Structure 1
Amino acid sequence: MITTGQSITNPVTGETLVFRTTSADTNGETVVVETFVEPNGAVAAAHVHPQQEETFEVLAGELEFRLGKRKLVAKPGDRVLVPAGTPHKFRNIGEDTAHFVCEVKPALGFEQLIETMFTLAEDGKVNRKGMPNPLRLAVIARHHFDDVRLPFPPAWLQKLGLAMGAPLGRLLGYKPNYEPQAPKAPTALGV
């Protein structure tokens, strides 16, 4: 469970998030994360939050945002509003670490989703873009369908695919929340 002040890093996408305000702090109304994105770092994939709006306030660096079909570059002092239902993604196009504050309203399952995806990346269980295998992703995506989905194909078709893929993923032992397995205890040699 994410706590205020907790930091989490995705080594594949180059993002580090520091949770400044959590859903527990606001009774589920808001999550505020201070975000650092390494040069060439980017969110794992274009996505849509059907019920959440995000506001990005850039403090340092240069970020390229794609909002629907629109592309824009945000620099220090710029604020970018992403209304609910808007396909979007971002990437650091500068030579230095980009730094911004992102506010997500309402919180819904945002923290749980980020914790799952970043922990999978930390444990090497994602591809070079930061995405887990399709069956694990189906389990996670079905659980978080109200939080995030792909911009394409249409939501009904995504639901259909998840209705088939998620049960198979569950049969293979995948869960909607990823918790790393405890490291195995060392064994004595020669015993």
Structure 2
Amino acid sequence: MKEVEKTDSNRILDFAAAGMWWQITKDTKDTNGAFFEAINVLAPGLEGPPQHIHPHAEESYQVLEGTLDFWIDGQWRLVKPGETATVPAGVPHTLKNSHAEAVRLINIHKPALGFERFFRRMHTLIASGKMTLPPKNFGSLIRISMLFVAHEKEIKSVNPPHGLMRFLAFVGSMLGYKLPN
């Protein structure tokens, strides 16, 4: 696997405020849309995203260091270094790091669809201070809902229900909230 140097800032998505750091190893352009790949580092105590599905893509995690807590189809399991977990399209899942050490993993979304844009937009919102994860204020709740709704082909929340996120996204658009390009 090709390692990208940390100095290539276009390939770094620093979600430090949310407890994550990403290094894009294969972007959508590199793979002609076949997949999107990044090394993710998850800080100890990271709660992770809401339970969600990827309607049209498979997601996989290959743990390099640490232990990943991985939830799929209603059950938590541990994924340790050298192990891989794969989520078929349409299957509810989430992850977290409830351990004392960081987790370093390779994360792949296949096909790439608009995942890269989704994560870059999320990075811009977090880095600018306009959104916290988990959402800790009304603006963050509105923006994460708008982001999920704008990328329904890539990701849909299961809990909270996607319908609620659609409603909150509508409220946000009526109040003048905008997402970055």
Q: TM-score, normalised by structure 2?
A: 0.82
Specify the code of the residue in structure 2 equivalent to 1:32: E
Residues 138 and 90 of structure 1: is their aligned pair in 2 closer, same or farther, counting only changes over 3 Å?
closer
Structure 2: runs of 5+ lacking an equivalent: 1-7
Contact 2:51 2:157 in 1 (8 A): yes
Shift of 1:152: 4.2
Shift of 1:168: 4.1
Task: Tell me what 1:107 maps to.
Answer: 112
Q: Say which of 34, 51, 56 aligns to 1:46.
A: 51
Distance, in Å, in 2 between the alignment partners of 1:161 and 1:72 is 27
Distance, in Å, in 2 between the alignment partners of 1:39 and 1:153 is 24
Q: Say which of 129, 136, 148 aligns to 2:143.
A: 136
1:145 and 2:147 matched: no
Runs of 4+ in 1 over 4 A off after TM superposition: 152-155
Report SS of the residue matched to 1:133.
Answer: helix
Task: Tell me what 2:87 maps to.
Answer: 82
Aligned pair count?
A: 172
Residues 166 and 153 of structure 1: is their aligned pair in 2 closer, same or farther, counting only changes over 3 Å?
closer
Task: Tell me what 1:174 maps to.
Answer: 177
Contact 1:9 1:15 in 2 (8 A): yes
Residues 110 and 52 of structure 1: is their aligned pair in 2 closer, same or farther, counting only changes over 3 Å?
same
Distance, in Å, in 2 between the alignment partners of 1:171 and 1:92 is 36
Residues 166 and 129 of structure 1: is their aligned pair in 2 closer, same or farther, counting only changes over 3 Å?
closer
Return the structure number with greater strand share: 2
Q: CA-to-partner distance for each residue in 1:52-108, whole Å, 9 max, x for gaps?
A: 111111010011001121210011011001111111111113222111101110111
Contact 1:121 1:130 in 2 (8 A): no
Specify the code of the residue in structure 2 equivalent to 1:46: Q
Distance, in Å, in 2 between the alignment partners of 1:137 and 1:101 is 24
Q: TM-score, normalised by structure 1?
A: 0.78
Residues 122 and 44 of structure 1: is their aligned pair in 2 closer, same or farther, counting only changes over 3 Å?
farther
Q: Which has the larger radius of gyration?
A: 1
Residues 138 and 154 of structure 1: is their aligned pair in 2 closer, same or farther, counting only changes over 3 Å?
closer
Specify the code of the residue in structure 2 equivalent to 1:113: F
Report sequence identity in percent.
28
Residues 25 and 9 of structure 1: is their aligned pair in 2 closer, same or farther, counting only changes over 3 Å?
same
How does 1:1-191 map onto structure 2 within 5 Å?
A: 6-127=11-132, 129-130=134-135, 133-152=140-159, 158=163, 162=166, 164-175=167-178, 177-178=179-180
Structure 1: runs of 5+ lacking an equivalent: 180-191
Q: CA-to-partner distance for each residue in 1:114-173, whole Å, 9 max, x for gaps?
A: 111222122222245157534333432221111111114666xx2x862x5444423433
